Amino acid sequence: MKRQDFTDEQLVGKSLEDIDFFGSLVERYEKRLLNYVFRISGFSPEIAEEILQEVFLKVWKNLNDFSAPMKFSSWIYRITHNETISTFRKMKSRGEPEQVELDENLFLPDKSDFVEEFDQEISSLAIKKVLAVLTEKYREVLVLRFFEDKSYEEISDILQVPSGTVATLIARSKNSFREASSRLNLNF
């Protein structure tokens, strides 16, 4: 059986016996998580990579804390989310805004989902602009739902909130997104 055929949970078990398996886990997630950090924070690539390194070290140190039935992907997204928010707040308190202009392609969600939800054709540039003005919690939940394609249960595990709250948050985020787009005169 090749390493790429192992499930995340199998790789976690193997990693505790052989660190090289942990390397496979890191490779599997680094690109996805890097994009996630960019999308929710707008940080420069340097800072996003530093965050990610810290995330993988935390994952390694706390590997024994991971257990089913939670999905490994939810667990690692949670650690990434917490680390990003923590860095964001530290920088904000030090007065060091480190947000940069990001590649528009990062804001290309699953079109069909977005069109279905908002009943509109939306350009990635417009999405990026609107997301930038949303509050942290609304941006996070929209990114997880429409860009990372996470289920309600997964979002509940990542943000550590009840599933019912996820539904409410998504509904409010969509309203907030609509309001912000009309405020910015962005016609999709």
> Where do contacts with another protein occur on this chain (CB under 8 A)?
16, 19-20, 22-23, 26-27, 30-31, 34, 45-46, 49, 52-53, 56-57, 60-65, 67, 156, 160-165
In angstroms, the CA 11 to CA 18 distance is: 10
- Give least dist CB 52 to another protein, A: 6
Choose between 168 and 182: whose C-beta lies nearer to another protein: 168
Q: How many CB atoms lie within 10 A of CB 128?
A: 19
- Give least dist CB 184 to another protein, A: 33
- Give least dist CB 61 to another protein, A: 6
Choose between 61 and 94: whose C-beta lies nearer to another protein: 61
Choose between 78 and 178: whose C-beta lies nearer to another protein: 78
Choose between 11 and 127: whose C-beta lies nearer to another protein: 11
- Give least dist CB 130 to another protein, A: 28
- Give least dist CB 173 to another protein, A: 19
Choose between 24 and 123: whose C-beta lies nearer to another protein: 24
